[in-house]
Amino acid sequence: MKSPVRKGSLLSCMAALMLIMSGAALAVDAVDLSQSPEVSGVQEAARMPKQQERMALNYVNQPPMIPHSVDGYQVSTRTNRCLACHGVEHYRSTGAPRISPTHFMDSNGKVLSGVAPRRYFCLQCHVPQADAAPIVGNTFEPSKGFGQ
């Protein structure tokens, strides 16, 4: 049996949702970091060398950062440019690190024959490293023995 929904309450909810969404859109427009004096010039300062040394990890299980540019890399449901070098079939010939065995396990711990769907989109966790000043200051300290 369906519960009755009053038209007035449904319209009120929809109106409130529209107000929230428009407010969020205005907030996004209002915060333009590229115009901030603390951030201006970050794009120019964050030049990414074609190759650089891998950065040290700062905590246990941190996804390694990418030591090269990924501009133009395509990662979609049909293709993953990262696997052309880091995949099991190619890493030996390219000299790139092989993707972790954990990337072949599904959410239940079952080992799959290919990269698990939840680990397929590399750029969700792995980001290109760049020599740039932080946009926002922080007081993060690496775990003992890390970041060296």
* 13 belongs to an annotated ligand binding site: no
Please give the model's pTM, rounded to 2 decimal places.
0.57
Q: What is the pLDDT of residue 113?
A: 93
Complete domains list, the chain, with CATH: 59-132 (1.10.1130.10)
Angstrom CA distances, 101 to 56, 106, 112, 115, stand at: 20, 11, 10, 9
* 82 belongs to an annotated ligand binding site: yes
Residue 127 and residue 65 in contact, taking contact as beta carbons nearer than 8 Å: yes
Q: What is the pLDDT of residue 29?
A: 37
* 122 belongs to an annotated ligand binding site: yes
- Burial (CB < 10 A; 0-12, 13-18, 19+), residue 67, is middle
pLDDT tens figures, 101-127: 999 999 999 999 999 999 999 999 998
Counting residues of the chain whose pLDDT is more than 90, the rounded percentage is 28
Band of the pLDDT at 77, cuts 50, 70, 90? confident
Helix-, strand-, coil-residue percentages of the chain, each rounded to 5: 35, 5, 65
pLDDT tens figures, 41-55: 444 434 444 566 777
